[in-house]
Amino acid sequence: MSKFRIVFRQVYLKNLKSGTYIWMVLAPLVFLLIGGVITIGIVKTQQPVNVALVTPQAELAPLVASLPKKNDSYQRATKITTEAQAKRALSRSKIDGYAVLTSQNNQMKVSYVSRASGQGLPFSTLDAQFNQLSLQYQAERLQLSGAALQTLLAPIKTTQTTVAFNDRGKAEKRDNNQQVVNTIVATAVSVLMMMFIMMYAGMIASEVAAEKGTRIMEIVLSSINVNTQFIGKIVAILALIMTQLGVYVVLGLVGKPLVTHFLFQEFPAVKSMLSNFQLPGLAAGQLVLTGLFLIVGIMTYTVLAAMLGSLVSSVEQAQQAITPLSMVAVLAYILGIMAGNGINNTLIKVTAFVPLLSPILAPARVSAEAMSVSAGWLSLLISVVVLMLLYYVSLIFYRANVLVYSDSNLWQSWRASWRILTNRQRQSRP
């Protein structure tokens, strides 16, 4: 077996079996599951608002009776027909409120009474229904024809259209609630990116610092070329990312029909709610772009974290070593959240192309439909080029640092490794 494969397998299997990695893979699924269970719980336990609609005037009783017994907003207590009954039912918490319809001088009047501790009455729905009822009542009183009544009752027709422009400048229809969906998806992308980047960066920095601190590094590097060892570690981390994404793809493919079948059958309301949303992140191109940004982003932070991990002399110092990197990631995360919330200023636009920031920011902007997919690909290309450069720079510093032990702080270690590098270059000159 080649020495690259030996290092690769060791790093891959060791981390694959570690609690940190297993938690990192499972965490989004656990959060999703908890969120789902809570939502289902809320939907299941939510009772419709119980309301009694009564009138003391006999001529209005048929009108009140004609109102729907049940709709999305409330459920009528049809057995309650008088105000006294309604009051009693309210005091016994059997209903959340009641409405009393009266007519004086041919003018309809509605009085609502609701219990402070009960569910709020759906006033707008009830108002609309009573308005309709009032129109019907007045039309009948004025003896209007059926056609005239239809004309009078016909509501004004309104349409609302929100558009998003695709790469070719073509407008695509969006529902009004799309902005909310975009914000949610972009925020989720930023949070997950930040979480994965920091966990993988921490993983490689600890790996390097632990091997260095325990002198395992000395044994390994007396058996294998440092370049082979470095690339073995980096590729193992790449394989861990691919494994993680693979787990999600498989779970997604297997789990989606099960979840949608169960969810839509049990809760038709969820189905109708989801059909109103267009999920921008689920478009194939955007999904691939986000996945690639995730890989490139994690790899960029990983090679830098490996270099920083090689500066310190013990695993306890690993987190301190990657602090500068964490600060950059936090900045990218904040910008990503801002982009997800629709902020579209010059800073956000420019930084979406800056490597280290773009892996979080660009997918968030693409998800928020503030950046076209083709601009996203351009940003990815820049990140890939910079990743390759950083790989070589990190390797050079890693080679210089990884067997140099020092009790000094990070900055002094950095300066010492710079001196070693420049000395080597001077020596290698003829």
Partner 1 sequence: MPVLMVHDLVKKFGTMTAVDHVDFTLDPGEILGLIGQNGAGKTTTFRMILNFIEPDQGQIRWQGQPFTQAQYNQLGYLPEERGLFPKMTVMDQITYFAELRGMKRATIRAEVPRWLDRFAVKAKPTDKIRDLSKGNAQKVQLIATLIHHPKLIILDEPFSGLDPVNVSLLREGMLDMKREGAAIIYSDHNMTNVEQVSDQLVMLRQGEMVLNGTVDQVRQQFGRIKVYVETTLPQEQLAAIPGVVRITPRRHDLELTLADEAVGHEVFKLVTAQGYLPEFSQQPPTLEEIFKLKAGADHE
Which positions lie near partner 1, rule CB under 8 A? 1, 3, 6-7, 10, 14, 211, 214-225, 403, 424, 427
Nearer to partner 1, 54 or 203 (CB): 203
In angstroms, give the least distance from the CB of 212 to partner 1. 9
Nearer to partner 1, 18 or 409 (CB): 18
**Cβ burial 219-249 (10 Å sphere, 16+ → b, else e):** ebbeebebebbbbbbbbbbbbbbeebeeeee
In angstroms, give the least distance from the CB of 222 to partner 1. 4
In angstroms, give the least distance from the CB of 200 to partner 1. 20
In angstroms, give the least distance from the CB of 423 to partner 1. 9
Nearer to partner 1, 158 or 427 (CB): 427
Nearer to partner 1, 32 or 219 (CB): 219
Alpha-carbon distance of 246 to 264, in angstroms, equals: 26
Question: Would you say 296 and 359 are in contact if contact means Cβ atoms under 8 Å apart?
Answer: yes
Residue 85: Cβ-neighbour burial (10 angstroms; 0-12, 13-18, 19+): middle
Alpha-carbon distance of 232 to 15, in angstroms, equals: 13
Alpha-carbon distance of 86 to 80, in angstroms, equals: 6
In angstroms, give the least distance from the CB of 204 to partner 1. 16
Nearer to partner 1, 79 or 426 (CB): 426
In angstroms, give the least distance from the CB of 255 to partner 1. 32
Per DSSP, the three-state class of 283 is coil
Alpha-carbon distance of 250 to 235, in angstroms, equals: 22
Chain-centroid distance, C-alpha 229? 36
Alpha-carbon distance of 182 to 389, in angstroms, equals: 34
DSSP string, 371-396: S-HHHHHHHHHHHHHHHHHHHHHHHH
Alpha-carbon distance of 215 to 131, in angstroms, equals: 83
In angstroms, give the least distance from the CB of 254 to partner 1. 32
Per DSSP, the three-state class of 97 is strand
Alpha-carbon distance of 121 to 128, in angstroms, equals: 13
In angstroms, give the least distance from the CB of 405 to partner 1. 10
Nearer to partner 1, 6 or 60 (CB): 6
Alpha-carbon distance of 350 to 345, in angstroms, equals: 9
Nearer to partner 1, 262 or 405 (CB): 405
CB under 8 Å, gap of 24 or more: what pairs does 325-330 form? Answer: 325/201, 325/301, 326/198, 326/201, 328/356, 328/357, 329/194, 329/197, 329/198, 329/201, 329/301, 329/356, 329/360, 330/194
Amino acid identity, position 177: N
Nearer to partner 1, 10 or 166 (CB): 10
In angstroms, give the least distance from the CB of 425 to partner 1. 12
In angstroms, give the least distance from the CB of 202 to partner 1. 18
Nearer to partner 1, 384 or 403 (CB): 403
Nearer to partner 1, 351 or 417 (CB): 417
